[in-house]
Structures are given as structure tokens and as C-alpha cells.
Structure 1
Amino acid sequence: MKNKFPTIKTDRILLREITDLDVKNIFKGLSNPNVIKHYGINFDSLEATKEQMIWFAEKKQMWWAICSLDNQTFYGAGGLNDINHKENKAEIGLWLLPNFWGKGIMKEVLPLISYYGFNNLKLNRIEGFVETDNLNCKNAMSKLDFKNEGTMKDCEIKNGKSISVDVYAKTN
């Protein structure tokens, strides 16, 4: 029997399991040039987005759909990936559709995901890898008590160019 996926609510936000019904919203986000500018993947078709849906369902990932409290508006997705129980750590990630940027959603959701990781999954470390030029995300991570541990210079290739990534982490 599959464990029930946790639902998390605040006064204005619902975090719920991502289902196959979300594929159009996931595609809408992960094909948007503004969203994927600082995101590691993108999709050019609904069919290709199914690859991401399979990834969300893997045991080492725990990602939520970020929605309005009444579940009528999809804001984005966020969660933990590469959950490693042996090392008691995971990577945190989040993306929002541009209409919902600057509304405090990221500041509200990242602590909820961190809390779940530390208290329910018993993680000791949650890491965030942020492209060096993604200033908004870096500011949010700092405000949420993630410590900047340094920069991995030219560590990834994106769109044919080397990029650097800043490492942020929070420990329990």
C-alpha cells in the first residue's frame, strides 16, 4: 500500500501531491522562458513534459503542487529532490509561474518544505543550488536562513555556456 502523500496548508496556500492532471500546468511553467532561465530543465511539448511527471513520482523526490487554498489556481511546484536518507540530506527546489512572482509565495513555501524535510523526513541538511546570476533566488535563500557556502565556478554547461552555481544550505 502506498503511503499517503502529505498535504500542507497555510492561510492562503495549499501544497498537495502533483498528479497527472497537473501536466498542463507543469508544461506551462517549464516551457516559459522566464521560468526556465534559471531552471535546469525545460520542455517544448506536453508529451515531453511527461518525463518530468515520472521524475516527480520517484521515491527520491518529494515535490508538491503549489496552489491557492481552494486548489483552483496553480502557482508552481516545489519540493525536495535527491533525498538521501543515508546522508540525511536533500536538495530543495521551487519554481513559480511569473504571474505569482513577488507575492511572497516563495518566502512562505520554502520554510514549509524545509520544516517537512527536517521534522518528518529527519534530514539534517537541506541544500539549494542557485545559478550565480539568479539574484532574486539568492536573496530569498539568504532571508530564509540558508547560508551561502560558496560558488562552484563554471560547474555546469547551460545553453552551450559554462555557468557557476552558488551553494546554499541549512542544517537542522
Structure 2
Amino acid sequence: MIEIPTLPSARLVLRKPMEKDAIDQLELFRDPEVMRFHGEEPYQSLQEVKDEINAFVELAETEEGMIWMIILKETDQCIGDIGFFKWDKANFRCEIGFKLKRDCWGKGLMSEAVTTILDFLFNELNLNRVEGLVDPNNLPSQKLLRRLGFQMEGVLRDYEFEKGRFGDLQMNSLLKREWNK
């Protein structure tokens, strides 16, 4: 098992998931706008969120990735989650994903969280490539990744089956040499 480190930034603390996060995360997972591009229907129960938090912990236990809770320093409130998965150690790459409560959108918080994770992935785990697969209609996530230097490589047609249909995903990537410029 890999220990999930605590990663501080100016306004945030990224820390390992805990059961106490379930109440805050329920608000996040219940919001149809937040879940719109995440391939799942909004959650309805606290138990679903607790199961998801357990899955976050298992990701580190199986060394397939890590998920952090995004904690706002000012209030100590859990406002989202961020992490990496599909960790391919042999090829020095992974995929990232993130969610943020709607009332925190547009404040630069996710940019701060993603920057913190990218520093960790490139400089601590020594990865060479980080991928972000984004729904082609998810313009805010596309803009965030572009701002941080990700390049759009193309569209993966009918890449995922979600909510009863096949959907495209846009492949974006950032290389270590581009990040460390």
C-alpha cells in the first residue's frame, strides 16, 4: 500500500479520504451539474458516498492511483476530490480526474489543486505523462487543462459506455518536460 501524502497549497490542503468527508461529499455527488460529465448518475444516499470513499482508499491500497479530498483551509470544509488512476508504472503515466462543489467554481481553486497534483506526479513520482480524458462538451475542464499546458491529442470515439449510451472522450496530455519548463 502506498501512503497518501498530505499536499498543501496556498488556499487548500489535499489529504487522504476519511469517512467524515461523506457528508460534504454527498452534496458534491448529489449535484447533477457536478456529476454531468462524470459518467454516473448523481448519488442519492450517504452509503453510496461512503462506498465511493472506500473505493478511493482501495485505489492506494492496490497501488493503482490515489485520490485526495480537497479541503478549503479557511473553513476546513471538504469541497471536492482530485486524484490519479490507471497508474502505468512501467510506462511512467497516469490519468487524472477531479470534481469540485459548484459554489467553488470560477475561483481558481481547481487550478490550484491540479497544479499541486501535477507537481507531485512529475517531481515526486517521476511520471513522464499525465492524461486528462474529458467529455467534449465539458468546456470548463478543457480550458483548465489548456491553461496548465495540456495538449489535446484527439477524440476517442465511443470510448466509454455511460448512462446507457456510448460517449466520446477528448484525450489531453501533459509531459514532464513541458511541465518543468
Shift of 1:127: 0.5
Match of residue 5 from structure 2: 6
Contact 1:14 1:71 (C-alpha < 8 Å) held by counterparts: no
Contact 2:72 2:79 (C-alpha < 8 Å) held by counterparts: yes
Runs of 5+ consecutive residues of structure 1 not aligned to the other structure? none
Specify the code of the residue in structure 2 equivalent to 1:11: A
User: Could you say what the CA RMSD is over the residues aligned between the two structures, in angstroms?
Assistant: 1.6
Give the TM-score taking structure 1 as reference length: 0.91
Q: Give the Cα separation in 2 of the matches to 1:83 and 1:70.
A: 32
- Give the match's secondary structure for 1:75: strand
Match of residue 19 from structure 2: 20
Aligned-residue sequence identity (percent) comes to: 27
Give the TM-score taking structure 2 as reference length: 0.87
| Higher helix fraction (1 or 2) | 2
Contact 2:28 2:79 (C-alpha < 8 Å) held by counterparts: no
Query: Using a 3 Å threshold, how does the CA distance of structure 1 residues 49 and 73 change in structure 2: closer, same or farther?
Result: closer
Q: Give the Cα separation in 2 of the matches to 1:4 and 1:49.
A: 22
Match of residue 170 from structure 1: 174
Deviations 1:137-165 (A, max 9, x none): 11111111011010012222332233211
Match of residue 151 from structure 1: 155
Match of residue 55 from structure 1: 55
Shift of 1:7: 1.2
Runs ≥4 residues deviating over 6 A: none
Contact 2:34 2:99 (C-alpha < 8 Å) held by counterparts: yes
Deviations 1:75-128 (A, max 9, x none): 211011122212211111111000100000111111110110111111111111
Match of residue 179 from structure 2: none
Match of residue 30 from structure 2: 31
Runs of 5+ consecutive residues of structure 2 not aligned to the other structure? 177-181
Residue among 91, 97, 100 paired with 1:96: 100
Aligned length, in residue pairs? 171
Match of residue 137 from structure 1: 141
- Give the match's secondary structure for 1:86: helix
